[in-house]
Structure 1
Amino acid sequence: MQFELKLPEIFNAADYFVDRNIREGRGEKIAVLCEDRSLTYSEIQERVNQFGNGLRSLGIRMEDRVALLLPDTEIYPQAFFGAIKMGAVPICLNTLMRPKDYKYFLNDSRARVLVVDNSLLNCIDPVREDFKYVENIIVVNGKGAENDLAFSEMISQQPPDLEPAPTSPDDACFWLYSSGSTGQPKGTVHLHHDMVYASETYGKQVLNIRENDICFSAAKLFFAYGLGNGLYFPFSVGATSAYLPGRPTPEAVFDMIQQYQPTIYFGVPTLYGYLLEQEGEMNGLRLCISAGEALTPEIFKRWKERFGLDIMDGIGSTEMAHIYISNRAGKARRGSTGQIVPGYEARIVDENFHDVPDGDVGTLLVKGDSAAAYYWNKHDKTKETMMGAWLNTGDKFYRDEEGFFYYVGRTNDMLKVGGIWVSPIEVEACLMEHPAVLECGVVGTPDAENLIKPKAFVVLRESYKPSPELEKEMKAYVKKALAHYKYPRWIEFVDELPKTATGKIKRFELKNGNA
């Protein structure tokens, strides 16, 4: 379905997501809830302006990069939109990485300013002497090294008014780094109109987000998924965001639900699985959203049985800013990723980029105007992935006659067993239906004849213990449910699975024996 976004030639995303709420009379509406603190849209606007003025006082100019290494608190929208409003480009950095990663991010991006929370300075201090371009480090909630600036002191000295920089809808607005599961992370450059496009399509036409919603995202703001969930979707309509600074453990999630009574909850499949293992309630929710990796039919079924709520599974990417295929409220289909989001188009193609018939597996291409402009300093990778108006997701899908999409796996995750393609997702979904399995990952492993066969790494529920008998039982379970050649020849019981920061299983580590 075509969707045309009409924006003026001079357009600043911070003006749209922050200042517009003031102009439309929502200045006293609560924008952010965090721990025992709450800020209205007027208070957010004032601090956005002060931070933008603070950057100007440091000599930051339009299109300069400003890196953000922050937990989810009320500071995030202030720094993110403050940088955008004065014309700079914020870069959302993953808070779960290591010092060497931050050295790479900051030198690759050439960011001139780093805004970092005091709790994360230990990740910066070992490599700060290696930063080639960082001129100022601004510390939130404390004071760092001698020449670092304190965030609170910096903004307190700045005026509360700031005119938006005269950017265009097609100027660089913010960066996100890809997870780097197949190489070095890539700086993904998004434009000023991208967040608006995602808000007008998925935000309004799938979530039906409205002013009285309270949004809580277990996925953090530095993820593409979390940034929409917890920041620009609620800000697009003057809704409220509830922030959890710490880890989204099941206990913490249930506490957030009880404390803030959100109406929309955004999670990932792994966390949905762990929540089902704990005591707690999900009262007050109208929507539960999942993305990040495929939601198994078993988790969907058990969630519905326990809480009476469908999980609306969807798929998005860093490159497309947010979700472009999704289930709908009241029409969620178990095992399916859903249907195309209005405003986006999708094709499933073979190795020659010819469309395949419904029911056939191929590579998913997607098209929509929230797509990133390019990867920073990755020309070949940009050409490989961003094929004109179409983006090559690298994901294997098939589509049924009703337009529902089904995820099969990543292109490089598919297994060829006995000359026949096997999806690890299908085998994992089958194993997840066994009562002993909490989560699992399936990869290809060579047998004694050096032929590839499926191997499963399984995390058991607390009430089960590893044993040869249980392994034999699980193999028989898969043989009965799926074609014989798909069953895992080996099952290794592990305490946890290696995952990316977005919750995706690191299959390449499982292949290398790093469970």
Structure 2
Amino acid sequence: MKTEVVWEAAFVTRANHYNAAEVMVDRNVSNGFGEKYAFVDPHRTLTYAQLQTATNQIANMLTGLGIHRETRVAVLMLDTVDYPGVFWGAVRAGIVPVCLNTLLTGDQYLYMLEDSRAQALIVSAPLLAVVEPLFGKLPFLEHIIVSGGDGTGYPDLSSLMAEAGDTFETARTHPDETAFWLYSSGSTGAPKGVRHVHTSPAYVADNYGRNVLGIRHDDVCFSAAKLFFAYGLGASMAVPMSVGATAVLLPDRPTPRSVLEMMHRFNPTLFFGVPTLYAAMLADAACTPENGSNRLRLCISAGEGLPEDVGRNWERRMGVGVLDGIGSTEMLHVFLSNRPDDIRYGTSGREFPGYKLRLVDENGNDVKDGEMGELLVSGGSAGDGYWNQRAKSRATFLGEWTRTGDKYIRDEEGYYHYCGRTDDMFKVSGRWVSPFEVEQAIISHPAVIEAAVVAHEDEEGLVKPKAFVVLNQPGEVNGLLEELKIHVQTSIGVWKYPRWVVAVDELPKTATGKIQRFKLRN
């Protein structure tokens, strides 16, 4: 693998040419992995050679429709083996796929399709009904292609691919040219289109996939996070494809039972989940090693901070540690993480090669170890800015540094302790309170599955913590809510305990599993 990396760097330097499809797809065929499974879903499989052919067909199909290089194509597809062909086929042609969340409303899709000015939309048949009423409102949208159905009057993806040629001269794109877009989750406002360049997937794979996960060609990766999500795109495409590994795709929304069924059926070696899913699986008695994968060597968590108790309970139950880390849409994937031989639950781990980190105060000055600051990150997978949002781009992308919006404390050993989103922090009696710290204390009580803490004013206008909890036994509330207050007081401090505790059936979340605390504040 060493000579390949040297060749790739020299190739970019000499020719000023780099197309991510050649690196992530073609190189695996050249390396002898053509007959190896690249992707499997519950119904179909796709080898690397078949993927290469599919990407050529997609490139021919799109250009044959008159879609030109640098034009945007919206991808609203379920996680099946069709998705990688569409994504990398567009990239091969120099056309920009815009990955859309599959769990949104018509109004949200209207916003994104108008914002991106996508010329074409490739949509999975089950999702067509949500977006079809919008088509007359989108003058830029010229082509609608349906995947996985009879098309119901629209062109069918498989038919168009069958008619297209299976060879294509890959576009000679620039390393810094936009390859694809991902929309931010919109947890605090309207989603923002983040532009990522051709070299970013390989950068993630080289620095996180190899340095942290030790990804190997015989690994099987299974991500509950979807391909439209930066975390899922890295886990199911960038990381496994960098070494010719296999990725398992789940088209449906992940539930504890559906995830366990996929793990038992396909025996992945690496599992990528989010904290809320790990907590939900632990609450399910069926979550046992016997019902999961017998080849699992690593579990990974990102998206939000992993509560310490959830990580420890998972390792005790399943016999496999969880690497908690943090990433973002702006950085494409994980840039701070625990490592297989260095797991410190309750932290996001330590800095690893490829990324530099800083913690700064409100004035942009570096803070000392033990002091809370906003996390800034520098690395080659950073996005190239937000589409048509100049002010927000300038506020987030600060030269080589990217603001994450996350508050952290770094201890003297270099481990980063998550405190919460900058917008979620608040003071009680003049002292900062970390919602995540209070949530961890609440979740450590055996009666609680999930918790979210927000600022709330009392009758005198003073700010105090308010907690919303999801209980293991929803009907057993008597006395428990007061018990949780005392539990927090004795765990982390009197001023931090929630003055109000509300039991709810579920917490509001984005489609990527992040808790929407702003909805609880309102």
Fold conserved between structures, TM > 0.5: yes
User: 1:462: Cα distance to partner?
Assistant: 2.9
Looking at structure 2, the residues matched to 178 and 132 of structure 1 have their Cα atoms a distance apart, in angstroms, of 24
Contact between 1:12 and 1:85, CA under 8 Å: does it hold in 2?
yes
Contact between 2:39 and 2:247, CA under 8 Å: does it hold in 1?
yes
Contact between 1:310 and 1:330, CA under 8 Å: does it hold in 2?
no
Contact between 1:67 and 1:111, CA under 8 Å: does it hold in 2?
yes
User: Given the alignment of the two structures, is residue 23 of structure 1 paired with residue 34 of structure 2, yes or no?
Assistant: no
Looking at structure 2, the residues matched to 272 and 182 of structure 1 have their Cα atoms a distance apart, in angstroms, of 24
Which residue of the partner structure matches residue 67 of structure 1?
74
User: Given the alignment of the two structures, is residue 32 of structure 1 paired with residue 39 of structure 2, yes or no?
Assistant: yes
Looking at structure 1, the residues matched to 474 and 456 of structure 2 have their Cα atoms a distance apart, in angstroms, of 29
Contact between 2:474 and 2:505, CA under 8 Å: does it hold in 1?
no
User: 1:182: Cα distance to partner?
Assistant: 2.2
User: 1:143: Cα distance to partner?
Assistant: 3.6
Which residue of the partner structure matches residue 398 of structure 1?
409
User: 1:292: Cα distance to partner?
Assistant: 0.4
Contact between 1:436 and 1:464, CA under 8 Å: does it hold in 2?
no
* Equivalent residue in structure 1 for 2:326, among 292, 297, 315: 315
User: Given the alignment of the two structures, is residue 194 of structure 1 paired with residue 200 of structure 2, yes or no?
Assistant: yes
User: 1:132: Cα distance to partner?
Assistant: 2.3
Between the aligned residues of both structures, percent identity stands at 50
User: Given the alignment of the two structures, is residue 158 of structure 1 paired with residue 168 of structure 2, yes or no?
Assistant: no
Contact between 2:306 and 2:346, CA under 8 Å: does it hold in 1?
yes
User: Given the alignment of the two structures, is residue 353 of structure 1 paired with residue 367 of structure 2, yes or no?
Assistant: no
Render the CA deviation track for 1:57-88: whole Å, top value 9, x for unaligned.
10011101011000100001000000000110
Render the CA deviation track for 1:161-188: whole Å, top value 9, x for unaligned.
1121000111100000001122211000
User: Given the alignment of the two structures, is residue 102 of structure 1 paired with residue 112 of structure 2, yes or no?
Assistant: no
Which residue of the partner structure matches residue 339 of structure 1?
350
User: 1:49: Cα distance to partner?
Assistant: 0.6
* Equivalent residue in structure 1 for 2:449, among 418, 422, 438: 438
Contact between 1:499 and 1:506, CA under 8 Å: does it hold in 2?
yes
User: Given the alignment of the two structures, is residue 140 of structure 1 paired with residue 150 of structure 2, yes or no?
Assistant: no
Which residue of the partner structure matches residue 122 of structure 1?
129
User: 1:285: Cα distance to partner?
Assistant: 0.5
Looking at structure 2, the residues matched to 84 and 149 of structure 1 have their Cα atoms a distance apart, in angstroms, of 21
Looking at structure 1, the residues matched to 139 and 371 of structure 2 have their Cα atoms a distance apart, in angstroms, of 49
Q: Which runs of 5+ in 2 are unaligned?
A: none
User: 1:463: Cα distance to partner?
Assistant: 7.0
Paired amino acid for 1:103:
L
User: 1:37: Cα distance to partner?
Assistant: 1.7
User: 1:366: Cα distance to partner?
Assistant: 0.5
User: Given the alignment of the two structures, is residue 422 of structure 1 paired with residue 422 of structure 2, yes or no?
Assistant: no
Which residue of the partner structure matches residue 249 of structure 2?
243
Looking at structure 2, the residues matched to 464 and 291 of structure 1 have their Cα atoms a distance apart, in angstroms, of 31
Render the CA deviation track for 1:20-53: whole Å, top value 9, x for unaligned.
1111111111111111321111111111110110
Looking at structure 1, the residues matched to 346 and 211 of structure 2 have their Cα atoms a distance apart, in angstroms, of 22
User: Given the alignment of the two structures, is residue 273 of structure 1 paired with residue 283 of structure 2, yes or no?
Assistant: no
Which residue of the partner structure matches residue 484 of structure 1?
494
Looking at structure 2, the residues matched to 480 and 203 of structure 1 have their Cα atoms a distance apart, in angstroms, of 40
Paired amino acid for 2:230:
A
User: 1:394: Cα distance to partner?
Assistant: 1.1
Count of residues in correspondence between the two structures: 508
Alignment of 1:402-413 (within 5 A): 402-413=413-424
Which residue of the partner structure matches residue 512 of structure 2?
502
Looking at structure 1, the residues matched to 444 and 460 of structure 2 have their Cα atoms a distance apart, in angstroms, of 31
Looking at structure 2, the residues matched to 250 and 77 of structure 1 have their Cα atoms a distance apart, in angstroms, of 25
* Equivalent residue in structure 1 for 2:477, among 463, 466, 474: 466
Which residue of the partner structure matches residue 223 of structure 1?
229
Q: Which runs of 5+ in 1 are unaligned?
A: none
Contact between 1:219 and 1:267, CA under 8 Å: does it hold in 2?
yes
Render the CA deviation track for 1:122-161: whole Å, top value 9, x for unaligned.
1111212111211000100124453x21101100001111
Structure 2 residue matching 1:195: 3-state secondary structure: helix
Structure 1 residue matching 2:23: 3-state secondary structure: helix
Looking at structure 2, the residues matched to 434 and 257 of structure 1 have their Cα atoms a distance apart, in angstroms, of 28
Paired amino acid for 1:511:
R
Contact between 1:215 and 1:265, CA under 8 Å: does it hold in 2?
yes
Looking at structure 2, the residues matched to 493 and 321 of structure 1 have their Cα atoms a distance apart, in angstroms, of 35
Looking at structure 2, the residues matched to 262 and 310 of structure 1 have their Cα atoms a distance apart, in angstroms, of 15
Render the CA deviation track for 1:201-230: whole Å, top value 9, x for unaligned.
001111111100000000000000000101
Out of 217-226 and 500-509, give the one that drifted further: 500-509
* Equivalent residue in structure 2 for 1:10, among 13, 17, 31: 17
Which residue of the partner structure matches residue 51 of structure 1?
58
Which residue of the partner structure matches residue 203 of structure 1?
209
User: 1:341: Cα distance to partner?
Assistant: 2.4
* Equivalent residue in structure 2 for 1:173, among 158, 174, 179: 179
Looking at structure 2, the residues matched to 492 and 21 of structure 1 have their Cα atoms a distance apart, in angstroms, of 52
Contact between 1:219 and 1:226, CA under 8 Å: does it hold in 2?
yes
Looking at structure 2, the residues matched to 433 and 97 of structure 1 have their Cα atoms a distance apart, in angstroms, of 32
Structure 1 residue matching 2:242: 3-state secondary structure: helix
Contact between 2:187 and 2:514, CA under 8 Å: does it hold in 1?
no
Looking at structure 2, the residues matched to 311 and 157 of structure 1 have their Cα atoms a distance apart, in angstroms, of 46
Looking at structure 1, the residues matched to 444 and 191 of structure 2 have their Cα atoms a distance apart, in angstroms, of 34
User: 1:54: Cα distance to partner?
Assistant: 0.2
User: 1:330: Cα distance to partner?
Assistant: 2.5
Looking at structure 2, the residues matched to 442 and 225 of structure 1 have their Cα atoms a distance apart, in angstroms, of 25
Contact between 1:87 and 1:167, CA under 8 Å: does it hold in 2?
yes
Which residue of the partner structure matches residue 297 of structure 1?
308
Out of 137-146 and 24-33, give the one that drifted further: 137-146
Alignment of 1:437-456 (within 5 A): 437-456=448-467
* Equivalent residue in structure 2 for 1:261, among 259, 263, 267: 267
Structure 2 residue matching 1:339: 3-state secondary structure: coil
Paired amino acid for 1:496:
E
Paired amino acid for 1:157:
E
Which residue of the partner structure matches residue 95 of structure 2?
88
User: 1:491: Cα distance to partner?
Assistant: 0.5
Looking at structure 1, the residues matched to 282 and 366 of structure 2 have their Cα atoms a distance apart, in angstroms, of 39
Paired amino acid for 1:172:
T
CA RMSD of aligned residues (A): 1.3
Contact between 2:188 and 2:516, CA under 8 Å: does it hold in 1?
no
Looking at structure 1, the residues matched to 353 and 39 of structure 2 have their Cα atoms a distance apart, in angstroms, of 29
Paired amino acid for 2:254:
P
Structure 2 residue matching 1:254: 3-state secondary structure: helix
Render the CA deviation track for 1:395-442: whole Å, top value 9, x for unaligned.
100111111111101111112111111111011000001111010100
Render the CA deviation track for 1:440-475: whole Å, top value 9, x for unaligned.
1000110010111001001100376122x1111111
